[in-house]
Structure 1
């Protein structure tokens, strides 16, 4: 699958999924799918406790997602001059409620 590049510890998303609570996994998967749908230059970096999505190999991240017991914490970065936005998403919410924030960050990060 394109866009699946891991830096550092070379963990795969399949390995990472094992630590996501089962009730949160559908939400996490939908966030991941949404990020990849933004463009062919989206890069995934699977880290120890979270997954970071970047724009191209310049590694400018626009979203950092960490699973929680009942949802996910999403950190959104549009550029280095603005503060990072933090959003808590509950497992019952849909990514479409926050899609515009993520898409805007993807488009503005450079």
Structure 2
């Protein structure tokens, strides 16, 4: 995507997507698209085994998404003083509540 910033090894999401189990890809893509839709200041950092979403150039992360065979694991951070909330999501699971948790974390993080 134009304007996206990536740190580290400069992997693209398309490269990363090849390692996501086929069954988990739609769920992972849905969470990714939701995170990116939260605002123009969302930064995506594609890492070796996960994708981390942060806010602006200070990169205060709010969501760390890692694929699994049957779903994904999301770590959600609202502040640096709190431990991240870890959620395991299976394919086919309703993610409406999880999107709200991510949205609140995005709005809360400084």
Q: With structure 2 as the length reference, what TM-score do the two structures score?
A: 0.95
Structure 1: gaps (5+ residues):
none
The alpha-carbon distance between structure 1 residues 58 and 28, as it changes in their structure 2 partners (threshold 3 A), is same
- For residues 33 and 65 of structure 1, the distance between their equivalents in structure 2, rounded to whole angstroms, comes to 12
Q: Deviations over 1:16-59 (max 9, x none)?
A: 00000011100000000000111110000000000000001111
Contact 1:24 1:71 in 2 (8 A): yes
Q: Deviations over 1:57-85 (max 9, x none)?
A: 11100000000000000000000111110
Q: CA RMSD in A?
A: 1.1
Q: Which residue pairs with 1:92 in the alignment?
A: 92
**Total equivalences in the alignment:** 110
Q: Which residue pairs with 1:103 in the alignment?
A: 103
Report the CA distance between 1:4 and its aligned residue.
Answer: 2.7
Report the CA distance between 1:86 and its aligned residue.
Answer: 0.1
Structure 2: gaps (5+ residues):
none
Report the CA distance between 1:3 and its aligned residue.
Answer: 5.3
- Report runs of 4+ in structure 1 exceeding 4 Å deviation: none
**Which residues in structure 2 correspond to 1:4-23 (within 5 Å)?**
4-23=4-23
Q: Which residue pairs with 2:39 in the alignment?
A: 39
Q: Which residue pairs with 1:55 in the alignment?
A: 55
